[in-house]
């Protein structure tokens, strides 16, 4: 039962490879209990020879019944495979929810503009925001192709006029620019919208 429960969990999250979906496992550790149409009775009838001979499992998806015939060794093999797959999912989730990915998610686009809107953040919050942004630049932006930064202040400020190719030098330059920003710069009510429009004005930008 625990084997079937683990298989359901993996199937829900899309693990189809390596024959570890519920239907794939059931087909390897047993055989489906079949029904056939009996003309004289005018209805489908299930075979009865397997009743009591094998443990049976009924799937929730379509109600199919499987007679389980596998030896203990094969069951334990699938338990090991499923536990290994679950461990991979755990590692993936830990990675997805760590460091800059916990705040920004995973950046998948190759050409992006990050719009900075600090509002009226206190100095300590301002520095925390810059720490987080520095982290995403060093950890994730370094992996893509092009980027730019735009600060949504009363006088809109851009790190570069257009998206710039990513390199260690440009990422370091962007981090330095970020930490030179003046916390006291005034913010207008329309600065965020203006910064977004400016970001979308670069046709190369995908996000």
DSSP letter string, the chain: -HHHHHHHHHHHTT--GGG-SHHHHHHHHEEEE-EEEETTTTEEEE--TTTTTS-EEE-TTT--EEEE---HHHHHHHHHHHHHHHHHHHHHHHHHTSHHHHHH-----SEEEEEE--TT--HHHHHHHHHHHHHHHHHTGGGSSEEEEEE-SSS-EESSSS-EE--HHHHHHHHHHHHT--TT----TTHHHHHHHHHHTSTT---
Q: What is the mean pLDDT of residues 156-167?
A: 91
- The pLDDT value given to residue 164: 92
Please write the tens of the pLDDT for every residue from 125-147: 889 889 999 999 999 999 999 99
31 beta partners: 67
- The pLDDT value given to residue 13: 46
CA dist 120 and 177 (Å) reads: 19
Q: Please, which pLDDT band fits residue 2 given cuts at 50, 70 and 90?
A: very low
Q: Look over the chain and give the mean of its residue pLDDT values, rounded to a whole number.
A: 78
- Total Cβ atoms within 10 A of residue 6: 20
Alpha-carbon dihedral sign for residues 62, 63, 69, 74: positive
pTM over 0.95: no
Contact present, 30 and 66 (Cβ < 8 Å): yes
CA dist 187 and 116 (Å) reads: 11
Please write the tens of the pLDDT for every residue from 24-54: 787 788 777 666 555 565 665 555 555 666 7
Pairing state between β 146-151 and 111-116: parallel
Give the range among 99-103, 121-125, 159-163, 197-201 with minimum mean pLDDT: 99-103
Higher-confidence residue of 146 and 183: namely: 146
CA dist 7 and 82 (Å) reads: 7
Tokens 């981090």 sit at which residue?
175
Q: What is the mean pLDDT of residues 96-101?
A: 74
Q: Which CATH number fits domain 102-205: 3.40.390.10, 3.40.50.410, 3.40.50.200, 3.10.270.10?
A: 3.40.50.410
- The pLDDT value given to residue 71: 81
Show me where the domains of the chain are located. 6-97, 102-205
């Amino acid at each position: 039962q625990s084997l079937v429960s683990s298989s359901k969990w993996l199937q829900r999250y899309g693990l189809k490879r390596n024959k570890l979906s519920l239907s794939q496992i059931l087909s390897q550790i047993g055989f489906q209990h079949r029904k056939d149409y009996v003309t004289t009775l005018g209805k489908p009838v299930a075979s009865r020879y397997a009743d009591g001979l094998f443990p049976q499992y009924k799937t929730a998806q379509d109600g199919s019944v499987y007679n389980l015939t596998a030896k203990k060794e094969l069951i334990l093999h699938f338990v090991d495979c499923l536990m290994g797959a679950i461990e991979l999912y755990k590692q993936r989730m830990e990675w997805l929810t760590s460091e800059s990915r916990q705040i920004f998610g995973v950046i998948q686009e190759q050409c992006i503009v990050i719009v900075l809107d600090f509002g009226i953040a206190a100095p300590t919050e301002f520095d925390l925001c810059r720490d987080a942004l520095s982290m995403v630049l060093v950890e994730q932006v370094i992996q893509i192709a092009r980027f730019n930064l735009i600060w949504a202040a009363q006088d809109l400020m851009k790190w570069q006029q257009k998206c710039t190719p990513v390199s260690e030098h440009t990422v370091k330059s962007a981090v330095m620019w970020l930490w030179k920003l003046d916390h006291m710069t005034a913010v207008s009510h329309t600065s965020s919208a203006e910064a977004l429009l400016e970001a979308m004005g670069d046709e190369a930008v995908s996000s």
